[in-house]
Structures are given as structure tokens and as C-alpha cells.
Chain A
Amino acid sequence: MTLEILGISVLGLFLFGYIIIASIDFGAGFFNAFSTVTNKQHILTKVIQRYLSPVWEVTNVFLVFFFVGMVGFFPKTAYYYGTTLLVPVSIAIILLAIRGSYYAFTVYGGLKHKRYTILYGLTGLFIPASLSIVLTISEGGFATMGNSGPVLDYWALFSSPLSWSIVVLSLTAVLYISAVFLTWYAHHAKDEAATNLLRKYALIWAGPAIITAGGIIVEMRAHNPEHYQRLVDLWWLFALSVVLFAGTVYLLWKRRAYGLAFGLLVGQFALAFLAYGASHYPYLLYPYLTLYDSFTNRSMAIALVIAFIAGLGLLLPSLYLLLKLFLFNKEYVEGKRNDHA
């Protein structure tokens, strides 16, 4: 395995981790807000907040990891993406800040406002939408090289069916992933009413999620034939992914083994993510930037890999402790303990 592949695999791992746990977080915020509007908050709010409170900062760190690692392993991306992404990423930062401050001000600070809860829920939809633009741009055709550097063509971006399909996919995926996870969590917490409601949401969003995912592949055919061809070559990975998707839906439908259902969902997205990433190879930005011409020097790459391994040695036990104390601790999950400072 070359250092380039090792680097992109590490980053892919973090990006995938972020996609899953941030989706849970974003969707949970949205469902929480939705239940406030529809007067069902007595069913959902407690179980959602109990999950979210101790973990939200950890979610954020996955994102920071990804972009810091990106600049570390592939410094040229800072130049190409940094210049083109100023507006979409700035908007995402501001929305992320609103989200973070929601925890600070309402959960920890006791400033309860219905409007703030709704704003918070909406950021859960707008953040994935604005971040998904990065993936769209990476397909090429939106950023061009001007005299003074890369320039983003906003009109092309906003009028492209591909970018809107990716936005819609990000939304349906967020809601689907989140609902499946929270169904399991609520069931774990022995909260019958919340489980039933969330299971319903999960089943509602399953269809749109898979349809929009399929739609992207069709869009790609017109937009980036080279990438499309590589996607089609990996059809078997997508087929496996669909099988896992069917498994999740079946288990939810039969009200069985919610934990396994979520596991299958992670597998489904992991396979699709892998297939997408592998077919994107070797480009980081069509057609300007590949893994190889943007890679850092050898000594930095080795240093980063060593730091990464050492860091994981520190983090994995800590994450395990966090999960053990909150996610898998019966008393905490069932709301019998709070112990907040």
C-alpha cells in the first residue's frame, strides 16, 4: 500500500465516521424540533437529549480531524478547495456555530426557547446541504482555473441537477440514519412510545434515501462519464449495499433486532462510501488534482501516520469508556441517573 493510499484511507475513515455520527446528531436535532412543532416533544425530547448531550463535541472533532488531516496529507487541497469553498464552508461554519451554541446556551445554560430549538433543528438540514457541496465540486465542472487562481462558478453549481440531487441525498440520508439509530437507542432505553414514533420515521425515510442515492448515479452519467464508468464497474459493491439496506428495512418492519438493523445500515453506507471513494480514485478534484500530485512530502506523511497510530492508541480506549458510561449504561440510558455538574 502506498503512503498516498494509506493517507486517503485514514481520511476516508474519519469522513465516514463523521458522516454517520453527524447524521445521527443532525437528524436527532431535526426530529427534536419537529416534535416541538407537532406537540410530540414529550415523546422524543428526553431520549434525544440524553443521547446528544455528552457526545456532541466528539462529533465536531471528527470534522476537524478530517480537514486538518486533509491539509496535512494533501496540502494542495488547501489551495484548490480553500479558494473555491470560501462561501459554502463559511456558511456551514456559521450554522455549526449556531448548533454548538445551542448546547452551550440551552442544554447547559438553561436558556429555553422554542424558536432556538427550531433554528437548531433546521441547521441539522442546512449543514449537510452546505457541506455536500464539497462533494459536488469534487466531480469537476464547477471550479475553473482563472488567472489568479481557482474560481467557483456559482451559477453552474446552483443550476446543476447533480448538485441538487446530492443535497437531497444528504438530507434523506441524515434523516434515515438518525431515525434508525434513535429507534435502537429508544428501544434500549425501554421507551416504547419513542421507539414506535422513531421506527415510523425510519421506515418513512428509507425509500427516499435509497431512491436519491440511485438517482445520483444516473446524474453522474451525464455530468462526469469517466466517474460514472468507474462507478458502474463497482456495481457489485453497490448491490451488496442494497442487500444490507433491505436487511435493515426488514428488521425494522418486523420490529426485531434494532441493534443489528443499525449495524446493517452502517455496513450499507460503508460499502456505498467505499465504492464511491474507490471510483473517485485517483482524483481529489476532477480534473485538476489527483492524490499523487497533491500529496505531501514523504517525511511529513510518515510523521502523520505515526502520530495517527499513537493518537488512536489514546483515543480508542477513551471512546470505549465514553460509550460504556453513556450509550451502554442502562441506568443512564433509561434516565435514572443524571449526575450533571
Chain B
Amino acid sequence: MGNEDAVFFSRVLTELTLSFHIIYATIGVGIPLMIMIAQWVGIKKQDEHYILLARRWTRGYVITVAVGVVTGTAIGLLLSLLWPNFMQLAGNVIALPLFMETFAFFFEAIFLGIYIYTWDRFENQKKHLLLLIPVALGASFSAVFITIVNAFMNAPQGFDVVNGQLVNVSPIVAMFNPAMPTKVAHVVVTAYMTAAFVLASIGAYRLLKGSDHVYHKKALFLTMKLGLLFSIVTTVLGDFSGKYLAQYQPEKLAAAEWHFETEKGAPLILYGVLDNGEVKYALKIPAALSILAHDVPSAEVIGLNDFPKDEVPPLYIHYLFDAMVTIGMWLALLSLVYVIGIWRNWRFVLRKWFRWLIVLGGPFSVIAIEAGWWLDEVGRQPWILRGIMRTKEAATTSGHVDTMLLLFACLYLILGVGSVVVLSRMFRKNTVEQELADRASENVGDEL
């Protein structure tokens, strides 16, 4: 196998692993916060339904976290196995947040172990809720630290290269690179948003499939409210991300927007197809790209033609951008209509077709996450470390990457199918109605 092949298969294996891991990782970052909110509402309102909601979410969460742990270990090791040259450089400059991520994860793992095995152990339920705080913090900080590493790949700083040697390394400056604030905020908040919409999707599905229990209605309303909140924050952060890109990675912004000529008052191109370098069937919003990039309608935005040909990312990232933004906007709108509809007693939000839209929101939000990460990773090409190291220089020279790709593909297939089967069995076997009845009879037993 030549080196070209090794690079190609290393890329495919990394893409596959990340695409699979990110589903579990995103859910794993977002759900602890949802559990915390539900349990807190339950304690405040003394409402058994919210407590049970937290408890059932926890059971599902444990499964996704376990798969997230193993795929996370896989990607952690694969980085060194597939991109040894990159990791050698990265180890010198950006190892600090990687190292801190393991601490955050350790913290989360310890308290998750405690939390799931101490339901009903405490007289005071608030004590049990306290144990969840380190879980949620650990999960979110894992995301923060790992995203810092990714931000560094997009906007490396905190070192100098003199005669091929790394000098003047400053780990802190490397961590607080220009990409870090927007990227970290975007990743963490969209994880909360995705978790909310995935859980809302489950609640809506249960309501559609015959269970008319008030438990599901409470679950749906709570998660849609949270989904609305986080999608509004995401929209604001999206605007900041545009400004970051315009200043620090203009080629990525230009490629994502199919912006070829440098111009003032640049239009924002949505959708469309690219035919021999010509944009067709697109929606053009005048001056919107200039506003997104610089807040001023007349501002100049650098176009793709001003960059060297071999430093421009593939143009298909425009579709990824479209998918991500469209889904984000759609979910914000959907949750807004639902929440207002419940308050104002609009009948149509309770109809079947509307609930199906909410069910679709779960898978859609996961697709948006995938599109976002692909946009980020492909949009950085041809670089692995922007401006410093190209992806093809970073890959392993080993000749067995293709075989490993096959093995890992089988593994992810098994894990994916397994987790879906187990999760659906777990909740179908033990319905909410049954569990509420069981708990009621237990409580009677306690009083007697």
C-alpha cells in the first residue's frame, strides 16, 4: 500500500470514527443537563412524574455513555495511530487540554457510577441531585477541552517554528486561540439543543403510539421549552462564528458560502447547485454575507479566487452548511410554535401531523450535528493544522490501515445496532404506566 492509500484510508477511518462517536458524545454531553433539570423540577414541584422522567432518561443515558466511552477511547488512540506526525507536533503544543479532558471525563465517570447506583439511597432527594452536578460538569468540560484542541487545529498559535524546530511554546496561548470561544460555545450549546430535541422526539413518539399519559406531555413540553431556549442561543452563536471565520479562516467561509469574487455588499447564497463553477437555482440574500461576516452591509468579503488553488477546501461543504443552518432554523421555529401553541391553546400543535414533525426533529438535530462536524473538518482541508501541517503529511506510513478500517466498520455496526435494540427493548418492556403503578404499590407497602 502506497502512502497515498494510507492517507486516504486514515482519513476514511477517522471520519467514520468521528461520525459515529459524535452521536454518542453529543447526547452524552447534553442529556445530563436535561436529567438534572427534570429531577430538579420534580423535587421543586414534588411531582413524581418528573422524577421518573429523570430516572428513565438516566437508564438510557447509561447505555449511550458506555458506547461513547468505548468509541471515545478508540478515537483517542486512533489519533496517535493514524496521525503520528500530527500528534507528535500536537503533543508538544496542545497536550494540556487533552490531558485535562481525561480529568473531566474521569470526574464524570466516577460520579456517574455513584449516581446511577444510589437512586433511593438518600432520604433527602436533593443530595442525590447534587451527585449529578459533577456528572453534568464533567461531561460539558470534556466537550470544552476537546473542542479547544479542535479550535487549535483551525487557528494554531502559541508556538514558533524556527528551522523546523518548535520554540517558544506556550500551552495557555495555544488553548486560548481565536477559534476557541465561538467553537466551544457552539459545540456545547448545540449538544444541549440536540439532547433536548432527541428527548422531545421520544416523548412525541410515545404520544403518537397510543400512550396518552400526562407523563409524556410533561416530558414533551419541558424538552421543547429547553430546545427553544438552546436553539435561540445557537442562532446568536452562529452569527459570532461567521465573524470569527471572516477574520481568521476566510477561505473556509468563502467555500461554505460559494463566494468566489471578493466584493463589497456580498450576498449570502443558500442552497443551489454548482454546475461547472457556476451557481444555479440558489437563493441569494443581498448583502447578508457581509452582515454575517462583518456586521456591515457594505463590508468587503474576500472571495475564493483570492486564495491559492491548493489551499481551498472542497466546495461541497456548502451543502453541509445549508443542512446545518436549515435544520437549526427549522427546529427553532418548530419549538417556538409549539411552546406558544401550548400557552395559547392552539389546537393544531396537539395534532398528529405536528407531533410527527417533532418526532422527526430528533433525527434531524443529529444530522445537523454530523453536518456541522463535517463542515468543520472538511472545511479545514487541505490542512490538519491550518497553515502549518497538511493532512497528507500527517498520516501514518503503516500499510494496514485498510484492514483496520474494515474491522472498525464492523465494530461500529454492531455497536450501533446493539444500542438501538437494547434501548428500544428497555423502554418497551417497562412502560411508564407500569412503572408508575409499581412505584405506587411499593409506596403503599412502605406505609403499611
On A, residues with C-beta under 8 Å from B are: 53-55, 57-58, 60-61, 63-65, 67-69, 71-76, 78-87, 89-91, 93-94, 96-101, 103-105, 108-111, 146, 148-149, 151, 296-297, 299-300, 303-304, 307-308, 311, 314-315, 318-319, 321-322, 325-326, 332, 337-341
Contact = CB atoms under 8 A, between A and B. Distances in A.
10 contacts: A65-B106, A67-B80, A76-B88, A78-B87, A89-B77, A108-B62, A149-B396, A297-B166, A318-B107, A341-B62
B248 interface: no
B188 interface: no
A210 B31 CA distance: 47
B152 to A, nearest CB: 13
B336 interface: no
B363 interface: no
A341 B404 contact: no
A97 B70 contact: yes
Interface in B37-91: 55, 58-59, 62-63, 65-67, 69-74, 76-78, 80-85, 87-91
Given A54-B114, A57-B113, A109 B74 contact: no
B109 interface: yes
B283 interface: no
Contacts of B72: 64
Contact of B85 (A79, A94, A311): A79
Contacts of A61: 102, 105-106, 109
Contacts of B418: 101, 104-105, 111
B73 A79 contact: no
A53 B81 CA distance: 30
Interface in B381-405: 396-398, 400-401, 403-404
Contacts of A84: 398
B421 A78 contact: no
Contact of A299 (B82, B91, B171, B425): B171
Given A82-B87, A307-B103, A297 B113 contact: no
Give the interface SS of chain B, mostly helix, strand, loop or mixed: helix
Given A110-B422, A111-B425, 9 more contacts: A72-B91, A89-B81, A100-B69, A148-B3, A296-B95, A307-B103, A325-B114, A341-B58, A341-B116
A101 to B, nearest CB: 6
B436 interface: no
B121 interface: yes
B422 A105 contact: yes
B280 to A, nearest CB: 44
B59 A86 contact: no
Contacts of B426: 109-110
Given A296-B92, A299-B169, A108 B66 contact: yes
Most B CB contacts (10 A, CB to CB) among A68, A73, A91 go to: A68
A76 B85 CA distance: 9
A298 B320 CA distance: 41
Contact of B87 (A54, A71, A151, A297): A71
Contacts of A311: 100, 103, 106
A102 to B, nearest CB: 9
Interface stretch (B264-272, B304-312, B407-415): B407-415
Given A57-B113, A72-B95, A90-B407, A109 B103 contact: no
B447 interface: no
A81 B73 contact: no
Interface in B119-157: 119-121, 134
Contacts of A78: 80, 84, 87-88, 91
Chain B contact-residue range equals 35 or more
Contact of A315 (B74, B100, B103): B103
Nearest to A94: B411
A86 B401 contact: yes
Interface of B: 3, 55, 58-59, 62-63, 65-67, 69-74, 76-78, 80-85, 87-93, 95-96, 98-103, 105-107, 109-121, 134, 166, 169-172, 396-398, 400-401, 403-404, 407-408, 411, 414-415, 418-419, 421-423, 425-426, 429
A339 B118 contact: yes
A319 to B, nearest CB: 6
A90 B100 contact: no
Contacts of A96: 70, 73
Contacts of B105: 61, 64
Nearest to A55: B113
B207 to A, nearest CB: 23
B131 to A, nearest CB: 9
Most B CB contacts (10 A, CB to CB) among A54, A148, A149 go to: A54
Contacts of A341: 55, 58-59, 62, 115-117, 119
Contact of B134 (A54, A81, A108, A318): A318
A340 B400 CA distance: 43
A264 B69 CA distance: 32
B172 A57 contact: no
A55 B111 CA distance: 10
Contacts of B103: 307, 311, 314-315
Contact of A71 (B91, B166, B401): B91
Nearest to A310: B103
A93 B422 contact: no
B92 A101 contact: no
Contacts of B114: 54, 321-322, 325-326
Top 4 closest A-B pairs, CB basis? A75-B91, A82-B84, A72-B95, A104-B66
Contacts of B401: 86
Contacts of B77: 67, 89, 93
